[in-house]
A and B are shown apart, each in its own frame.
Chain A
Amino acid sequence: DAGVTQSPTHLIKTRGQQVTLRCSPKSGHDTVSWYQQALGQGPQFIFQYYEEEERQRGNFPDRFSGHQFPNYSSELNVNALLLGDSALYLCASSTWANEQFFGPGTRLTVL
């Protein structure tokens, strides 16, 4: 049983560009949450998708958007990248309101 997978592993972008990160949840899971983890910090909640809708959102600007597909996979989009967006982006999957399992993350570097 494959766990949570994320792609790409690493990504380098320049300021002002746009980026799309992808996540495939663990088999049987229908909820995907995205977190941003800056170096040396705990993960910060960005938003959560369930039934293809954004159900909750953390304190992140509208430059951060997402999508969930019918097969429960998800994308995180970030527009107009800033240097401060450099971080490890984590996807976690779960069934609604239950244990969250994290993927390996995508390391985004903004130059």
Chain B
Amino acid sequence: QQQVKQSPQSLIVQKGGISIINCAYENTAFDYFPWYQQFPGKGPALLIAIRPDVSEKKEGRFTISFNKSAKQFSLHIMDSQPGDSATYFCAAGGATNKLIFGTGTLLAVQP
């Protein structure tokens, strides 16, 4: 029940395209869902996060869509750029914000 399942494992997108990464969770006690971006040799950087009281949140080219009934959430990267090439992790947290991470998606944006 503590798992967060993330897909796909890897993704190749053309410059200017839309990158979509999906996550699913089981524990209904989760109430905080962040996305992190990680470059090789660096720590994860917080991109955007959502709580279950809204179904969508947008910050610049990054959008989280959240489906509470399906226990799924996704990250959309619009107008993907080569600089977006990185590993993306979804995560889920509860009241004390212990984060459970997905397994990661390696995104490659081709110029």
Q: Which residues of A contact B (CB under 8 A)?
A: 4, 31, 33, 35, 40-45, 48, 55-56, 58, 90, 92, 94, 96-105
* B: contact size bracket: 20 to 34
Asked whether A104 lies within 8 Å of B42 as measured between CB atoms, the reply is yes
Asked whether A105 lies within 8 Å of B101 as measured between CB atoms, the reply is no
CB distance from A74 to the nearest CB of B (A): 15
Asked whether B98 lies within 8 Å of A33 as measured between CB atoms, the reply is yes
CB-CB nearest in chain A for B34: A99
Asked whether A102 lies within 8 Å of B45 as measured between CB atoms, the reply is yes
Per-residue CB proximity of B53-92 to A under 8 Å, as 1/0? 0000000000000000000000000000000000001010
Asked whether B101 lies within 8 Å of A103 as measured between CB atoms, the reply is no
B100 within 8 A of A: yes
Asked whether B104 lies within 8 Å of A97 as measured between CB atoms, the reply is no
